[in-house]
């Protein structure tokens, strides 16, 4: 018999109670248990940043922690960013307008990395933006349009 | 009044779904009652499979089915030739008795597949795979193509002849021996270009199911719906109409999704079980399981006269094709074409070989054989310019292909040929000034007293055919529906092109709107479904804007004619046929291999730390003749992305194999460029010399910005340090060795 552990977690403002295997990764929990597939898995070991989510408001790689560690905590995924279907978060709007994506697979992780960054630093320099993006891989864009989108988002959010 | 849809940077039509996390990638798909699949990979480079025992796996918890070679109706596949077993196993002939009889009992690379397990959960499937017992007899490993070419080498595909050489192209133009005798300067060098891993961020995945019409349907990433369908149907022994391929959102491709990966085994399980089946490859499985950019060895001897005219080029190019053909024949055909660079050279002798080995197969990857050949050609040009005491830009302009000049294949590139335009554009934007005295002249090698940080600049050019061709009749289908009464209210464009991130769907909507003189917001796209749309061809070879644009124009014109004849709705299909091309002659290469080309040039500035060997690229100016930028921001995105991917190829990505085994099988040891590794400044110059056959003059862009980067960086490192480094990536270790520091 496999031991299951209880997890009580709030995701995007909704509280969930689940019984999970202790080794289930938070990324797999979000994707397969809660069907929140906007959190993408690219490398499974913390290099690419595609699975980044907010954990009590801080950026965290969901492939590097277990679902059970989220017990009692609050998680926000990309699905929780927009206020409503019609009202995107300004960061999402900026990535759309400024061509901040191509294939889009890295995009949710980048958005969830930029949210706390822009909250802490609403008026960042280009170099600060680049440093903040340096833990996220993008294979398509060459990053420049992502930087432009973050700059535009900062303007929109000020 | 003509609408203004072309040349506008409208936002991507798929951006909203991608920023909200709603875009469904293959691994995000799920269906009620679906099973989960895991693959048993061979994990050995060359072996005979003596037996496969699946009994324990079949009895494991949650397992519904285990399939091996004996279960694959026609156990062979391959985009160009079917030389790869779907599953390797002791069964020698396909159960159906059809197919060319690929030896399925031989494992030829680590990523060959032995068995698949379908189970209730992924964890159960994974556990069951580990219970499969395989008995192997290891065979000698051929990991080096030069060894594999030798007469006494073991033959990897005995059913395909008595040699491991699977590709040989020859170009014979003029008389190189005679020309070398007349040359004032000759440069001879040997170059090695590395493997490159596509590393699209979304690993291979897919969901297969039976659709409402009873067809086995595969939702996965790919680059060509109809080619995927043909390969799957062939292996399953089904008519193509019984197989359906649909593409959800695709997380990058770059050529690496041209060949099949998860599709056939998914379809096999769904067809046999009549149930949905899902698979997601891990990153490691992706890295060992799909093809790579060919590593190539290139030997060159080029001659020029003292007035700066190139007169002869002799090249021998050996590409490591790996275990199976994939697209080696096409990739290396491009290497042959581009082996003389975008220059007029009256005397050419080129031999290009592709060789089977036990390495991961060489496959399509952005540039498709051109980056390798151009590394050689562009460095030859830089070295000759240096030897002649000429500025490398001036030397290029003196020898640039111009309208009417014959290429190596003996025929001119189609007009207009814009090498001069892109070279001048890159020169001017960079502010390239001639140096009075070449820096390296008279310098006694590198190690004598270089300061800790040195800077240099480098220049290179490139060109690439748009479309496959080489005698293949390029084609592309589109359908346009016009709805409304008095005026056009709604347009539906049907086109199966794969959106892999490059923006093709957005551009196609712009082209349809322009062709019908309507705004883009009334154009709806139905796409990426082999069952309801005609054959679009592949999103590769920088071809889709050119091909789809012409197909859409044709369909739109035909639909408009019906609209004007009061048909409601007005619906028309069109199949665009590109201008005809010819095969390369077997002995001379004489041919008209392509109907269009696009041209590029780059100037770069680098900084080399002579104490650590670290290379930083400070500035890149990229000039690309795209013919017409339909959506300039998307085109600039292709340029910036292409340059950064080329930066990985040139500097950070060091793919290491040992005896056929992949040592860099994770992102933690195969280093993709992060934002802090890349050139600090990439400046794009869009050159627009229209192609007369291109839609609104468009040529292509996807591969162009990749081409000149590695040789431009090599030239800049030379300018900074005085040494030529003929092999890359320019890792700190390689640079320090070249500088004589270690």
A97 and A132 within one domain: yes
Average pLDDT over residues A29-53: 98
The domain of A100 spans 90-157
A73 and A14 within one domain: yes
User: What are the tens digits of pLDDT across the range B458-499?
Assistant: 999 999 999 999 999 999 999 999 999 999 999 999 999 999
Nearest Cα to B119, choosing from B165, B61, B162? B61
B553 and B444 within one domain: no
A115 and A55 within one domain: no
What DSSP line would sit under A88-138, residue for residue? Answer: --HHHHHHHHTT--SS-SSHHHHHHHHHHHHHH-SS--HHHHHHHTTT---
Residue in the structure block whose two tokens are 């050279």: B345
B187 and B133 within one domain: no
Domain presence at residue B625: yes
Would you call B2 an interface residue with chain A, using a CB distance cutoff of 8 Å? Answer: no
Would you call A138 an interface residue with chain B, using a CB distance cutoff of 8 Å? Answer: yes
Closest approach of chain B CAs to the CA of A147, in angstroms? 10
B486 and B463 within one domain: no
Last residue of a domain, one of B100, B118, B139: B139
Closest chain A residue by Cα to residue B203: A42
B62 and B127 within one domain: yes
Domain presence at residue A85: no
The domain of B449 spans 170-196+292-468+586-738
Closest approach of chain B CAs to the CA of A105, in angstroms? 5
Nearest Cα to B588, choosing from B323, B373, B336? B336
Asked if the model's pLDDT at residue B60 lies above 80, the reply is yes
How many CA atoms within 13 Å lie on the side-chain side of B134?
Answer: 26
DSSP state of B621: E
How much of chain A exceeds pLDDT 90, in percent? 96
State chain A's mean pLDDT as an integer: 97
Would you call B126 an interface residue with chain A, using a CB distance cutoff of 8 Å? Answer: no
User: What are the tens digits of pLDDT across the range B495-519?
Assistant: 999 999 999 999 999 999 999 999 9
| Spatial contact of B396 and B461, defined as CB atoms under 8 Å apart | yes
A14 and A75 within one domain: yes
Give the E-state strand segments of B68-184 in sequence order.
106-107, 113-119, 133-138, 165-173
A46 and A13 within one domain: yes
Q: How many domains does chain B have?
A: 3
Would you call A50 an interface residue with chain B, using a CB distance cutoff of 8 Å? Answer: yes
| Spatial contact of B20 and B89, defined as CB atoms under 8 Å apart | no
Which positions in chain A touch B667 (Cβ < 8 Å)?
42-43, 45, 47-48, 137
pLDDT of amino acid A100: 98
A56 and A113 within one domain: no
Q: SS3 string of B512-553?
A: HHHHHCCCHHHEEEEECECCCCCCCCCCCCCCHHHHHHHHHH
B490 and B560 within one domain: yes
Average pLDDT over residues B194-223: 98
Contact (CB<8Å) A137/B667: yes
Contact (CB<8Å) B202/A81: no
Which positions in chain B touch A39 (Cβ < 8 Å)?
21
How many CA atoms within 13 Å lie on the side-chain side of B289?
Answer: 23
Among B14, B249, B640, beta carbon nearest to A145: B640
B532 and B678 within one domain: no
| CA–CA distance, B614 with B609 (Å, rounded to integer) | 5
Last residue of a domain, one of A45, A80, A115: A80
Closest chain B residue by Cα to residue A37: B28
Would you call A87 an interface residue with chain B, using a CB distance cutoff of 8 Å? Answer: no
B473 and B429 within one domain: no
SS3 of chain A: helix, strand, coil, percent, to 5: 35, 20, 45
Which positions in chain B touch A78 (Cβ < 8 Å)?
19-21
B442 and B342 within one domain: yes
The least confident of B98-107, B162-171, B186-195, B632-641 is B98-107
Contact (CB<8Å) A137/B634: no
Q: Residue B53 sits in a domain of what CATH number?
A: 3.90.1170.50
How many CA atoms within 13 Å lie on the side-chain side of B133?
Answer: 3
Q: Residue A128 sits in a domain of what CATH number?
A: 1.10.150.120
B133 and B55 within one domain: yes
A104 and A73 within one domain: no
B474 and B464 within one domain: no
Domain presence at residue A104: yes
Domain presence at residue B41: yes
Last residue of a domain, one of B533, B560, B577: B577
Among B19, B27, B672, beta carbon nearest to A111: B19
Q: Residue B331 sits in a domain of what CATH number?
A: 3.30.365.10
Closest chain A residue by Cα to residue B9: A99
Q: Which helix (H) or strand (E) holds B47?
A: strand B47-53
Would you call A41 an interface residue with chain B, using a CB distance cutoff of 8 Å? Answer: yes
pLDDT of amino acid B434: 87
**Preceding amide of B416 cis, omega within 30:** yes
pLDDT of amino acid A86: 87
| CA–CA distance, A89 with B158 (Å, rounded to integer) | 60
Token pair, residue A54, equals 């907010």
Q: Please report the ipTM that was assigned to this predicted complex.
A: 0.98
Per DSSP bridges, beta strands B165-173 and B63-67 are: unpaired
Q: How many domains does chain A have?
A: 2
Domain presence at residue A144: yes
Asked if the model's pLDDT at residue B705 lies above 50, the reply is yes
pLDDT of amino acid B441: 40
How many CA atoms within 13 Å lie on the side-chain side of B174?
Answer: 19
Contact (CB<8Å) B672/A81: no
B473 and B455 within one domain: no
Contact (CB<8Å) B667/A48: yes
Q: How many helices (H) and strands (E) does chain B have?
A: 17, 27
Token pair, residue B381, equals 């040009």
- Whether the full predicted model's pTM is greater than 0.90, yes or no, is yes
Closest approach of chain A CAs to the CA of B502, in angstroms? 6
A14 and A71 within one domain: yes
pLDDT of amino acid B182: 98
B610 and B720 within one domain: yes
A75 and A107 within one domain: no
A110 and A46 within one domain: no
| Spatial contact of B458 and B464, defined as CB atoms under 8 Å apart | no
Domain presence at residue B672: yes
Interface test with A, best of B8, B19, B23 (most A CBs within 10 A): B19
A125 and A106 within one domain: yes
Domain presence at residue A66: yes
A71 and A9 within one domain: yes
Domain presence at residue B354: yes
Last residue of a domain, one of B543, B577, B611: B577
pLDDT of amino acid B435: 79
Closest approach of chain B CAs to the CA of A8, in angstroms? 23
């Amino acid at each position: 018999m496999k031991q299951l552990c209880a997890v009580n977690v709030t995701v995007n403002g909704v509280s969930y109670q689940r019984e999970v295997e202790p080794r289930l990764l938070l990324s797999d929990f979000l994707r397969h248990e809660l069907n929140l597939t906007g959190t993408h898995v690219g490398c499974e070991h913390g290099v690419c940043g595609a699975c980044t989510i907010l954990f009590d408001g801080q950026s965290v790689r969901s492939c590097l922690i277990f679902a059970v560690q989220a017990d009692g905590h609050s998680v926000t995924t990309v699905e929780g960013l927009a206020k409503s279907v019609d009202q995107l978060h300004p960061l999402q709007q900026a990535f759309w307008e400024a061509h901040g994506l191509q294939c889009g697979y890295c995009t949710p992780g980048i958005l969830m990395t930029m949210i706390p960054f822009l909250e802490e630093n609403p008026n960042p320099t280009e170099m600060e933006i680049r440093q903040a993006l340096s833990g996220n891989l993008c294979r398509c864009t060459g990053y420049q349009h992502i930087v432009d989108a973050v700059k535009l988002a900062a303007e929109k959010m000020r | 009044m003509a609408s203004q849809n072309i040349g506008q940077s409208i936002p991507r039509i798929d951006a909203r779904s991608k920023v909200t996390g709603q875009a469904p990638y293959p691994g995000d798909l799920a269906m009620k009652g679906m099973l989960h699949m895991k693959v048993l990979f061979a994990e050995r480079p060359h072996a005979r499979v003596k037996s496969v025992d699946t009994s324990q796996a079949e009895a494991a918890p949650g397992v519904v089915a285990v399939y091996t070679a004996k279960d694959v109706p026609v156990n062979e596949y391959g985009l160009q030739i079917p030389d790869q077993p779907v599953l390797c196993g002791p069964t020698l002939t396909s159960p159906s008795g059809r197919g060319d009889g690929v030896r399925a009992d031989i494992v030829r690379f680590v990523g060959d597949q032995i068995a698949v397990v379908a189970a209730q959960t992924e964890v159960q499937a994974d556990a069951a795979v580990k219970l499969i017992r395989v008995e192997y007899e290891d065979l000698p490993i051929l990991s080096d193509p030069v060894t594999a070419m030798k007469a006494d080498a073991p033959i990897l595909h005995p059913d395909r002849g008595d040699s491991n050489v699977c590709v040989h192209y020859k170009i014979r133009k003029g008389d190189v021996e005679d020309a070398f005798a007349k040359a004032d300067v000759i440069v001879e060098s040997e170059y090695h270009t590395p493997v490159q891993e596509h590393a699209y961020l979304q690993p291979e995945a897919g969901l297969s199911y039976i659709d409402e019409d009873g067809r086995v349907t595969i939702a996965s990433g790919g680059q060509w719906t109809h080619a995927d369908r043909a390969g799957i149907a062939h292996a399953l022994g089904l008519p193509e109409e019984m197989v359906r391929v649909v593409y959800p959102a695709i997380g990058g491709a770059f050529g690496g999704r041209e060949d099949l990966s998860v599709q056939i085994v998914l379809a096999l399980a769904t067809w046999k079980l009549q149930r949905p089946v899902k698979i997601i490859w891990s990153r490691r499985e992706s890295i060992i399981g799909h093809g790579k950019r060919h590593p190539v060895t290139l030997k060159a001897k080029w001659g020029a006269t003292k007035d700066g005219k190139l007169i002869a080029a002799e090249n021998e190019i050996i590409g490591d094709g790996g275990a199976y053909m994939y697209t080696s024949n096409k990739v290396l055909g491009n290497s042959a074409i581009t082996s003389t660079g975008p220059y007029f050279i009256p005397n050419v002798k080129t031999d290009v070989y592709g060789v089977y080995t036990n390495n991961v197969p060489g496959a399509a990857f952005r540039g498709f054989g051109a980056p390798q050949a151009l590394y050689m050609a562009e460095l030859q040009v830089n070295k000759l310019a240096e030897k002649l005491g000429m500025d490398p830009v001036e030397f290029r302009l003196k020898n640039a292909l111009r309208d009417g000049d014959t290429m190596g294949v003996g025929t001119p590139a189609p007009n207009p040929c814009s090498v001069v335009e892109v070279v001048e554009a890159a020169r001017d934007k960079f502010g390239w000034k001639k140096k009075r005295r070449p820096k390296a002249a008279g310098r006694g090698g590198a190690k004598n007293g270089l300061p800790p940080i040195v800077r240099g600049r480098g220049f290179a050019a490139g060109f690439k055919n748009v479309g496959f061709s080489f005698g293949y009749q390029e084609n592309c289908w589109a359908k346009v529906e016009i709805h409304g009464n008095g005026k056009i209210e709604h347009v539906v464009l049907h086109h199966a092109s794969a959106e892999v991130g490059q923006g093709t769907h957005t551009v196609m909507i712009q082209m349809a709107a322009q062709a019908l003189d309507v705004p883009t917001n009334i154009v709806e796209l139905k796409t990426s479904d082999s069952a309801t749309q005609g054959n679009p061809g592949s999103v590769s070879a920088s071809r889709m804007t050119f091909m789809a644009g012409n197909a859409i124009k044709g369909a739109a014109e035909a639909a408009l004619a019906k609209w004007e004849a009061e048909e409601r709705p007005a619906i028309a299909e069109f199949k665009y046929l590109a201008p005809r091309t010819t095969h390369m002659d077997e002995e001379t290469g004489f041919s008209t291999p392509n109907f269009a080309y696009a041209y590029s040039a780059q100037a770069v500035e680098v900084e080399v730390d002579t104490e650590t060997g670290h290379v930083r690229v400070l500035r890149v100016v990229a000039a690309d003749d795209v013919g017409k930028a339909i959506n300039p921001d998307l085109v600039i995105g292709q340029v910036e992305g292409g340059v950064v991917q080329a930066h990985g190829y040139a500097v950070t990505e060091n793919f290491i194999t040992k005896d056929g085994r992949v040592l860099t099988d994770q992102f933690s040891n195969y280093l993709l460029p992060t934002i802090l590794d890349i050139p600090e400044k990439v400046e794009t110059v869009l050159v627009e010399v229209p192609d007369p056959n291109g839609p609104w003059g468009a040529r292509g862009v996807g591969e162009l910005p990749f081409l000149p980067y590695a040789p431009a960086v090599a030239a800049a490192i030379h300018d900074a340090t005085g040494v030529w480094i003929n092999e890359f990536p320019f890792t700190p270790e390689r640079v320090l060795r070249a500088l004589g520091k270690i």
